[in-house]
Amino acid sequence: MFEVKKLFVSARSCTVELPDGGLYHTKKPYRLTLNGEDAGTAETVVHTLYGLWPETKYTLKVFDGDKEVGRASIHTKEESFTLNVQRFGAVGDGVHDDTPAIQAAINVCPKKGRVLIPAGKYRVLPLFMKSHIRVEIQKGATLLLETDRTKFPILPGMTRSTDETRDLNLGSWEGNPLDMFAAMISGNGVEDVVIYGEGVLDGQGDKGDWWINHRTMRGAWRPRMLFLNDCEDVTVQGLTFCNSPAWNLQPYFSRKLKFLNVHVTAPADSPNTDGFDPESCTDVLLAGMHFSTGDDCIAIKAGKLYMGATYKTPTSYMEVSHCLMENGHGGMTCGSEMAGGVNHVTCHDCLMRNTDRGLRIKTRRGRGEQGVIDEIVFENVRMENVGTPYVVNCLYFCDPDGRTEYVQSREKQAVDERTPRVGRIAFRNVTATGVACAGYFLGLPEQPIECVEMENVSISCGADAKPMVPAMACGVPSVSRKGLVAINVEKVVMRNVTVTGQDGVKLECENVAEVDEG
């Protein structure tokens, strides 16, 4: 028996956790019943049930064969009205522009009401959420994002207040308040919103010109799939996001967020199609997510210097559990835009497969003294064919000035208001196989990484692992069958750490004050 944990209950859906010891997938399939009726099979630890009725009590039972192994009581929430977008004129034929109909339904939806998008193909321009509503995108429904950028609204980076004393920040690009095309789904200052269902949101990045000459700003910076700015209590449940023009899901200066059982996919060679990029957010839960992207699966951010120093808002108290990260550059990344700080992030019970890196911390001189990365914990994580499972890189060569002497110098610089800091990073019960480099920790000479803790960690180098540059900083060579490397680190703690298959030593140190292998 295990305890079935309820992660989220809405009026018509419920996400539960079936903790049988599996990471993303359960160790075996489980048969489910709701009030004695068949409710399908669960094959993932985090599982969502749809088609529930509002304000109804259910008993969920979980069976392994005929044996009941878990149960939970579910009481669904209230729902006031359902507004079907087809009643508002949406056609759903993939040709007609259904934006006005869907937006109208959203705008007039009463509190606790549901906007229902039934099966069909809906061609849309950016849509804007409002507070206290639920939007269900049902199985068989696909929203197709318009590909012509000239039709997109632009959200300005900064707008001055009428009395010229304040700024309104609506747009963002890579940590700076810059003009951007509105996301496929935008929330600005909204609260109590649920967006859920088994439908698909297709950004059609593969069909428009978003991925062509992508580093050049044309009109505004590229849109995301979901952008939540200054939002609170928002849950996204079950949907599939694919082919984003740029980053997929970006909550921004928002709080109390849940992303459950969401699938995010993009071709492996698509540019900057990060899966999930919370920026200056707090109290964030990601559970049962599946990522397969062209860039980092999860990239935790907190702005570049201006935003970090001005608003001093870190991303903090974030939990990532039972997720599958595949392909792309990094499994879970912090930075490189982290000037507001990133702290208290736990990634546990996750599986990473075929990503370049596993945990990847990226920062650089110029991110500022607010830019502190601290209390990052990796626990019960398995990595398969991950090039370098652990990378902390404080000399990341990003941004227009990323390769300058100031950023890349290996000489000790003055610690000042532009110097970021990396505190404690911990890895427990982690296995990594088929790696090229066991780990690469590159601190700043003037501000070494404070502490890297590894406990019950097993890393095996792949005999045929593709050589790779473990950290994107000037002068870091391509390697394969390489052990752990620590440069400019205060303390390395290693307890029950095994590295196998490497050429040379297990741990190579340069300017490391203390190695504790007790």
Just list the catalytic residues: 295, 329
Which of 335, 267, 323, 268 shows the shortest CA–CA distance to 290?
Answer: 323
Asked if residue 166 binds other proteins (CB under 8 A), the reply is no
d(CA 171, CA 154): 8
| Contact indicator for 268, 327 with CB cutoff of 8 Å | yes
Closer by beta carbon to other proteins, 314 or else 483 = 314
Closer by beta carbon to other proteins, 179 or else 192 = 179
Taking the complex as a whole, the smallest distance from the CB of residue 231 to other proteins amounts, in Å, to: 23
d(CA 325, CA 24): 9
Place of tokens 């499994």: 331
What x-and-dash track marks residues 132-151 binding other proteins by CB under 8 A? --------------------
* Footprint of other proteins on 7-26 (CB under 8 A): none
Place of tokens 């028996």: 1
What dihedral do alpha carbons 186, 188, 192, 196 form, nearest 10°? Answer: 0
Strand pairing report for 25-34 and 37-44 = antiparallel
Strand partners, 437: 482
Asked if residue 177 binds other proteins (CB under 8 A), the reply is yes
Stretch binding other proteins (CB under 8 A), from 55-63, 143-151, 231-239, 298-306: 298-306
Stretch binding other proteins (CB under 8 A), from 120-128, 173-181, 347-355, 467-475: 173-181
Asked if residue 178 binds other proteins (CB under 8 A), the reply is yes
Size of the site for other proteins (CB under 8 A): 20
Closer by beta carbon to other proteins, 22 or else 156 = 156
Q: Assign 309 to helix, strand or coil.
A: helix
Closer by beta carbon to other proteins, 53 or else 406 = 406
Asked if residue 164 binds other proteins (CB under 8 A), the reply is yes
Taking the complex as a whole, the smallest distance from the CB of residue 59 to other proteins amounts, in Å, to: 54
d(CA 22, CA 44): 8
Closer by beta carbon to other proteins, 102 or else 155 = 155
Taking the complex as a whole, the smallest distance from the CB of residue 401 to other proteins amounts, in Å, to: 4
Asked if residue 304 binds other proteins (CB under 8 A), the reply is yes
Stretch binding other proteins (CB under 8 A), from 8-16, 36-44, 174-182, 480-488: 174-182
Closer by beta carbon to other proteins, 174 or else 202 = 174
Asked if residue 176 binds other proteins (CB under 8 A), the reply is yes
Taking the complex as a whole, the smallest distance from the CB of residue 170 to other proteins amounts, in Å, to: 14
* Footprint of other proteins on 381-440 (CB under 8 A): 399-401, 403-406
Closer by beta carbon to other proteins, 281 or else 307 = 307
Buried b / exposed e across 400-438, counting CB within 10 Å, b at 16+?
eebeeeebbebeebeeeebbbbbebbbbbbbbbbbbbbb
* Footprint of other proteins on 359-378 (CB under 8 A): 366
Give backbone dihedrals phi and psi of 515, rounded to 5 degrees, phi first: -120, 120
Asked if residue 174 binds other proteins (CB under 8 A), the reply is yes
Taking the complex as a whole, the smallest distance from the CB of residue 485 to other proteins amounts, in Å, to: 28
Taking the complex as a whole, the smallest distance from the CB of residue 178 to other proteins amounts, in Å, to: 6
| Contact indicator for 236, 260 with CB cutoff of 8 Å | yes
The strand ranges marked E within 2-145 are 5-9, 14-17, 25-34, 37-44, 46-49, 57-64, 67-75, 82-84, 93-97, 113-117, 120-124, 127-128, 133-137, 141-145
Closer by beta carbon to other proteins, 305 or else 323 = 305
Stretch binding other proteins (CB under 8 A), from 127-135, 301-309, 340-348, 504-512: 301-309
What's CA 508's distance to the chain center, in Å?
A: 32
Taking the complex as a whole, the smallest distance from the CB of residue 171 to other proteins amounts, in Å, to: 12
Cα angle 453, 454, 460; round to 5: 150
Q: From the list 63, 128, 306, 317, which residue makes contact with other proteins (rule: CB under 8 A)? A: 306
Place of tokens 């440069």: 487
Asked if residue 340 binds other proteins (CB under 8 A), the reply is no
What dihedral do alpha carbons 352, 249, 258, 154 form, nearest 10°? Answer: 170
| Contact indicator for 85, 97 with CB cutoff of 8 Å | no
Stretch binding other proteins (CB under 8 A), from 11-19, 172-180, 197-205, 442-450: 172-180
Which of 308, 470, 300 shows the shortest CA–CA distance to 392?
Answer: 470
Closer by beta carbon to other proteins, 368 or else 448 = 368
Stretch binding other proteins (CB under 8 A), from 91-99, 176-184, 290-298, 486-494: 176-184
Taking the complex as a whole, the smallest distance from the CB of residue 174 to other proteins amounts, in Å, to: 7
d(CA 128, CA 124): 11
Asked if residue 160 binds other proteins (CB under 8 A), the reply is yes
d(CA 203, CA 224): 8
Q: Which residues bind other proteins (CB under 8 A)?
A: 160, 164, 173-174, 176-178, 304-307, 309, 366, 399-401, 403-406
